[in-house]
Structure 1
Amino acid sequence: MAYRFALAGNPNSGKTTLFNNLTGSNAHVGNWPGVTVERKEGKCKKSKEEIHIIDLPGIYSLSPYTPEEVIARDYLSQEAPDLIINIVDATNIERNLYLTTQLIELEIPMVIALNMMDEVNKHGDVIDAAGLEKELGVPVVPITAVKGHGIKELVEKAIESAKNPKPLGKTALEKTQLGAAIESVREILKKAGYGNTLYYAVKLLEKDSIIEEKLKIDPALFKSIDEMAAASEGKGEEEIETMIADLRYKYISEITSKYIKKGRVQGELSFSDKIDNIVTSRILGLPIFFLVMYAIFQIALGPIGTAIADPFAEFTGEVIPEAVAGFLESIGVSDILMSLVVDGIFAGLGALLGFLPLILLLFLCLSVLEDSGYMARVAFVMDRVFRPFGLSGKAFVPLLMGYGCAIPAIMGTRTLEDEKSRRLTITLMPFMSCGARIPVYAVFAGAFFASNQGTIVFSIYALGVVVAMLSCILLNRTVFKGEAPPFVMELPPYRIPSIKSVLIHTWDKAKGYVVKVGTVLLSMMVVIWFCQTFDFSFRMVEDSAESIFGVIGGWLAPLFTLNGFGVIKGTSEIHWQIGAALLTGLVAKEAVVGTLGILYIGQELEELTSALGTALEAHFTPLAAYSLMVFVLLYAPCFAAIATAKKELDSWKWTLFTVAYQCGIAWFVSMLVYQIGSLLGIGLA
């Protein structure tokens, strides 16, 4: 028999770490049906039983305030998994148990995973897990997910509970003054033929409009339920929803004071508090963040990254293409097929795969920062920066995701409460340079700024932040008027990142890049080869300038004359290749490098990477190269990201506005960089 276990818990409770521990590499990621919130599911590798683990979005309650809470609630109440594994942060148990009291009311077999027990012990705290288990009526298993402690016991207890569920005793609310009202509503629901009556009874007393509409109860029954709610409000002299929340917290306070003993003296600063006094400081917070990011770029794109990437680039750009060319020549393939495979595919993909080590290093560093808890502090620090510009620090979270990929980052704007913030954040998203742009920066910085690649690339990323902030001012005073929403965010304690968790996160991102190279970009390379080999009459051309791409690029290139890269270095000749490359960048930003590899190098297979650098030096000045990097940083994201933005904005008007604004800003800032640099005589040689 196959079981379905749902993993539910608060954000920052260690839910992702536990999910990775249970499923390992068996997990697959998609979206929940009908929405763009991420769904993770995988097979449990810790048991011989067939168990599917469904990782629900991190939530604080089952009240429908966010899309994540709606998804979690709908799945648990409608899909009815065989068991809920409720992961609870034992270092912040009072807040985490609020969700626990709600999950118990679903009357689904449940096991509580009391996580981070190593930190509890380190603080000298003592938690009576057996007492909590007896009080709550569900099994409680102490674990440390990051170290794998207690996981075996957790899985065994979960299977046992799923196979032999125990009757549920009185829940938190049933033990309070609302017990009689809850029981009366349950009787009404039972007579009407409804299941899951405890959960629905509480929600109806809370006057949950979504549940009321869903159940479609007879109006006469609703009237009696409303009368019970009104009577309960009269007893507490407050709204029923507030009263229920207060009763939950009162119950939690009572049981935690009974079963938890704090080892730390009240008022004593924890290790996390002491660090936060420095990294979230008004004076030091922002400089520390920039120093950290600068160090990351020096690691990923400096001597360390280069030492790893160069041999790999040589293998993908020289060894493999030469071997393929030799094999094809030995079996006597036609010239056109040789050109397709060697010039069309390997000239582009070889260059792109060569940057994989750099991307791996960058994502590895960012994953370490995220798992350590530092990124939550950055959001707190950035709130002070964002608020004068009309955004809250909460917008930093999806913007930060934009450094990985714009698509999930745009989806992440759903966590922002107001429409104005969502629209503004989506408009600014491309300015947070996604990982797909790294190959462009790496190849241009390597060709023109070899001695200080890390510094140059860091300046590009920093410029993106500056442009985003200036855009906030402009758009808030024109298109998106209004105050920034209040910012509330939990700061998790600092933790030593799990090597396994960091590697899984890094591998997921790297796998996405490789899959993209092998699918979308492979197709693009073939299209690019075709367009630079044939003209509009589908005749092979000897001069690529007469090809389909040559003509289209010739139309686009003059637009960039003032930007320095619309004409070839030292000439007045139209630089049609760059117009074509930027066009393919709308399909995938990595394709810019692949396109240039095909258009510049052609059949010159030896020393592919250095040959591309030599070709770039012949066509660009250093200033024009930097100007191009600025344009690639700022112009519209790939078509897939644009399509995601359309779905989130639900408006062609706003989608077209964001694309037009992004391209316009990219052209304007790139032009300013080149023109000011020219006036100062910088990088013209």
Structure 2
Amino acid sequence: MGITIALAGNPNCGKTTMFNALTGSNQYVGNWPGVTVEKKHGKLKGHRDVTVTDLPGIYSLSPYTLEEVVARNYLVNDKPDAILNLVDATNIERNLYLTTQLTEMGIPVVIALNMMDLVAKNGDVINVQKLSEAMGCPVVEISALKNRGVLEAAEAAIKLAEANAASHTRHTFCDKVEQALSEIEALTEGRVPERNERWYAVKLFERDAKVLEQLNLGSHAHAVENLIRACEEEMDDDAESIITNERYEYISKVVKSSVKKKRTGMTTSDKIDRIVTNRVLALPLFAVVMFLVYAIAMGGWTISIGTMGTDWANDVLFGDWVPNAVGNFLAAIGCADWLQGLILDGIIAGVGAVLGFVPQMLVLFLLLAVLEDIGYMARVAFIMDRIFRRFGLSGKSFIPMLIATGCGVPGIMASRTIEQDRDRKMTIMTTGFIPCGAKMPIIGLFAGAIFGGSALVAVSAFFIGIAAVVISGIIMKKFKAFAGEPAPFVMELPPYHVPSAGNVLRATWERGWSFIKRAGTIILLSSIILWFLQGYGFVDGVFQAVEDNNNSLLAIVGNAIAWIFAPLGWVGDMAWKATVATITGLIAKEEVVNTFGVLYHFAGELSEEGNEIWPLVAADFSAIAAYSFMIFNLLCAPCFAAMGAIKREMNNTRWTLAAIGYMCLFAYVIAMIVYQIGGLIIGEVAFNVFTVIAALLLIGLIYLVFRKGYQGGGERLRAVDAARAEV
């Protein structure tokens, strides 16, 4: 019979490193059923019958964040055979809070003291024997980064699970709490499961709604409530605070008896943080670091190795080698013309356009993985929190938005690091507003064709994206689903250390492969559909392949729905072309410029910014209509690959549709206001009914920004209910 070991610990305690060391390549990644929290499990090296499950990084089992709910439900309902509790030995007092909760679960626990090499380097000493006796479970010294003691800790957990001997020494609460718990246990008359007896008693004392519901106390409920209330009145505090204080008092005694600190001065990490997290220097330093990351991954400089790789992939691999090789092969076997067109112009051209960005993505993921492993990215979230909180966003929201400047897909994926479910949803719904690299050709096309290459137009695109994030954050926080202050930003800043090559490469590959899989599936299907719609249509009532795109199915679709965008200034001969370009932009934003090239009958190879068709674009678009088109395509729903990422991270069809719908609606409203009001001001648009509608929309937008938001009480309980509803 197989054994399951749950790996639990605080964020940044080295849990991921530990999991990778235990399982190697025998890992499987998915989501917990019904929620977006990532689930990892794998087979223990050398033990085919032992499965290691990596629980989300949490500070406690109190069910206030989605991660805590998931971890608690897994331990209570799935009942693993043992818990391997990873503890950061350099910050042992904070980490042991979770340990006190885990040892109450009635499940065998082994404490793995991680970073013991740093403890020794600091001159500190931890008496493992005393710590083990105090906590009532085995304690093993390890260094996950250096792969020392890792398997020994796992073996200890296996041995404990096999023996099924959960010999936990219960820590002693104050007399009043102990008495209350004993009487609560008696009142339940056996309804409390023996294995989790103590844990259920504590949760009853804390008035945990879910536990009260599970136990169904019936006639005893009133007596239990009176007992708890009397205890709170006598101790002049609420039950949860009583438990928390007693935990910390006990932990303080344990640490005092088993840990001896030698060094009292500042550590190396503390000295670095005096600069890195300095109120004045932090942001400029962060800007420099991110500039270097962007320059190396996606810039246009000599050091931009990511761009070099992408240029080679686009120009050589997918621009020459693959098309020529496949074309020659298809010609040699006598493949039908339509099938050759599908494979070369549809599949290879479409999928290759996206896969060409893989080198840039891999370099970006590699650099970010290095920064994460060093410990710097935790500082970034801390730095940005005080700024983002002003707009109702968490400091962790900044990282997804920063990554999205390169590509929206990994940016949306990065939102999973945000603990609070509502903050994570809001970040996903606004990250797509940030102009990504794929949107740059759109900006370049209209800046060059209409605005004489004005740099202000390009810069304004970034400010529009940022403004959309800020405005959306303010508006959303006024509604019940997102109401309340962002979750308190609590994070242990891990000590700086040299990155592990294995961790960095593994993280890079996992993120890169996820991007490649989505690109290769979603883009493949959309490229085939686009090829068919562009290449076929009705000529003289006969359905056939067409040479003139004006006769294609795509043109029919464009003309049929172009009226929707008339209030945005997309009128006349360019209306259906702008509509079709927008539709293809949903497949991949790079397709907008390429579509214009096709629709304006440019036969040669179009440059990235499409300067070959600038005169034709300038003839069709007025300045204000061009700006309206640019704004809509920058703010509306992202490409199919990013939509797929939204679906995966939301893990809920209704929320996915809501996110995409909100982005499209917001983009439409802003584009209409810009065209109708802006055009009226500069004299390009005559006063009409849509001008009135645009003015009303502007007033409505201002009202939503400044109105008083939802004021419902029990913010913390709402977070719990929302998380439980997800699970």
State the TM-score, normalized to the length of structure 2: 0.78
- Matched residue type, 1:23: T
Alignment match, 2:329: 327
Write the distance in 2 (CA, Å) between the matches of 1:508 and 1:261.
40
Change (3 A) 1:400 1:321: same
Following superposition, the deviation at residue 667 of structure 1 comes to 7.6
Write the distance in 2 (CA, Å) between the matches of 1:275 and 1:563.
52
Moved more, 86-95 or 621-630: 621-630
Contact 2:131/2:258 (CA < 8 Å) preserved in 1? yes
Alignment match, 1:33: 33
Following superposition, the deviation at residue 73 of structure 1 comes to 0.7
Q: How do residues 173-572 of structure 1 correspond to structure 2 at under 5 angstroms?
A: 173=172, 178-187=177-186, 189=188, 191-192=190-191, 194-195=193-194, 196-220=196-220, 222-230=221-229, 232-233=231-232, 236-265=235-264, 268-302=265-299, 303=302, 304-313=305-314, 314-396=316-398, 399=401, 404-405=409-410, 407-408=412-413, 415=420, 425-433=427-435, 437-439=436-438, 441=440, 464-469=465-470, 472=473, 484-485=485-486, 487-493=488-494, 494-535=496-537, 538-553=543-558
Alignment match, 2:709: none
The two structures, once aligned, show a CA RMSD in angstroms of 4.3
Change (3 A) 1:497 1:410: closer
Alignment match, 1:138: 137
- Matched residue type, 1:95: R
Moved more, 204-213 or 223-232: 223-232
Aligned-partner SS, 2:25: helix
Aligned-partner SS, 2:24: helix
Alignment match, 2:688: none
- Matched residue type, 1:540: A
Write the distance in 1 (CA, Å) between the matches of 2:530 and 2:108.
56
Contact 2:593/2:609 (CA < 8 Å) preserved in 1? no
- Matched residue type, 2:611: E
Change (3 A) 1:135 1:486: closer
In the TM superposition, what whole-angstrom CA distance separates every residue of 1:92-145 from its partner, at most 9, and x where no partner exists?
Answer: 111111110010011111111211222222322221222211221211112222
Write the distance in 2 (CA, Å) between the matches of 1:140 and 1:359.
41
Q: How do residues 643-682 of structure 1 correspond to structure 2 at under 5 angstroms?
A: 647=652, 656-665=661-670
User: In the comparison of the two structures, how many residue pairs are matched?
Assistant: 654
Write the distance in 2 (CA, Å) between the matches of 1:357 and 1:382.
29
Alignment match, 1:77: 76
Change (3 A) 1:194 1:306: closer
Change (3 A) 1:102 1:398: farther
Change (3 A) 1:641 1:91: same
Contact 1:585/1:591 (CA < 8 Å) preserved in 2? yes
- Matched residue type, 2:43: K
Q: How do residues 571-650 of structure 1 correspond to structure 2 at under 5 angstroms?
A: 574=574, 579-587=579-587, 589=589, 611-613=605-607, 616-620=610-614, 632-637=633-638, 638=640, 639-640=643-644, 647=652
Moved more, 140-149 or 175-184: 175-184
Following superposition, the deviation at residue 339 of structure 1 comes to 0.9
Note if 1:10 corresponds to 2:10: yes
Change (3 A) 1:414 1:663: farther
- Matched residue type, 2:63: P
Contact 1:443/1:613 (CA < 8 Å) preserved in 2? no
Write the distance in 2 (CA, Å) between the matches of 1:239 and 1:478.
30
Aligned-partner SS, 1:34: coil
Contact 1:87/1:112 (CA < 8 Å) preserved in 2? yes
Following superposition, the deviation at residue 447 of structure 1 comes to 14
Aligned-partner SS, 1:507: helix
Change (3 A) 1:538 1:214: farther
Aligned-partner SS, 1:87: strand
Change (3 A) 1:211 1:600: farther
Alignment match, 2:707: none
Write the distance in 1 (CA, Å) between the matches of 2:340 and 2:656.
46
Moved more, 350-359 or 308-317: 308-317
In the TM superposition, what whole-angstrom CA distance separates every residue of 1:619-670 from its partner, at most 9, and x where no partner exists?
Answer: 2489999998876543223444665669498697787444311444478789
In the TM superposition, what whole-angstrom CA distance separates every residue of 1:204-252 from its partner, at most 9, and x where no partner exists?
Answer: 12221210012212323x3444454345445534322211111111110
Write the distance in 1 (CA, Å) between the matches of 2:173 and 2:481.
47
Change (3 A) 1:590 1:254: farther
Alignment match, 1:607: none
Any unmatched runs of 5+ in structure 1? Answer: 450-454, 605-610, 680-685
Change (3 A) 1:298 1:645: same
Change (3 A) 1:285 1:159: same
Change (3 A) 1:100 1:166: same
Write the distance in 1 (CA, Å) between the matches of 2:654 and 2:267.
42
In the TM superposition, what whole-angstrom CA distance separates every residue of 1:529-563 from its partner, at most 9, and x where no partner exists?
Answer: 11111126742111123212234346678999999
Following superposition, the deviation at residue 258 of structure 1 comes to 0.9
Write the distance in 2 (CA, Å) between the matches of 1:497 and 1:442.
36
Write the distance in 1 (CA, Å) between the matches of 2:133 and 2:470.
53
Following superposition, the deviation at residue 312 of structure 1 comes to 3.1
In the TM superposition, what whole-angstrom CA distance separates every residue of 1:455-500 from its partner, at most 9, and x where no partner exists?
Answer: 9999966763354335556777999998744743224133333222
Change (3 A) 1:259 1:525: same
Following superposition, the deviation at residue 335 of structure 1 comes to 0.9
Contact 1:646/1:655 (CA < 8 Å) preserved in 2? no
Alignment match, 1:24: 24
- Matched residue type, 2:469: A
Q: Percent identity?
A: 41
Alignment match, 1:106: 105
Note if 1:155 corresponds to 2:154: yes
Contact 1:636/1:663 (CA < 8 Å) preserved in 2? no
State the TM-score, normalized to the length of structure 1: 0.82
In the TM superposition, what whole-angstrom CA distance separates every residue of 1:563-606 from its partner, at most 9, and x where no partner exists?
Answer: 99x79xxxx963866643431333555765886898899998xx
Following superposition, the deviation at residue 189 of structure 1 comes to 4.8
- Matched residue type, 2:636: Y
Aligned-partner SS, 1:5: strand
Following superposition, the deviation at residue 264 of structure 1 comes to 1.9
Moved more, 654-663 or 289-298: 654-663
Write the distance in 2 (CA, Å) between the matches of 1:654 and 1:448.
29
Write the distance in 1 (CA, Å) between the matches of 2:678 and 2:432.
18
Moved more, 499-508 or 640-649: 640-649
Change (3 A) 1:4 1:190: farther
Contact 2:602/2:613 (CA < 8 Å) preserved in 1? no
Any unmatched runs of 5+ in structure 2? Answer: 449-455, 685-727
Change (3 A) 1:612 1:132: farther
Contact 2:535/2:546 (CA < 8 Å) preserved in 1? yes
Contact 1:440/1:629 (CA < 8 Å) preserved in 2? no
Moved more, 198-207 or 366-375: 366-375
Alignment match, 1:682: none
Write the distance in 2 (CA, Å) between the matches of 1:98 and 1:636.
43
Aligned-partner SS, 1:281: coil
Write the distance in 2 (CA, Å) between the matches of 1:40 and 1:593.
41
- Matched residue type, 1:210: K
Aligned-partner SS, 2:140: strand
Change (3 A) 1:209 1:428: same
Following superposition, the deviation at residue 2 of structure 1 comes to 1.9
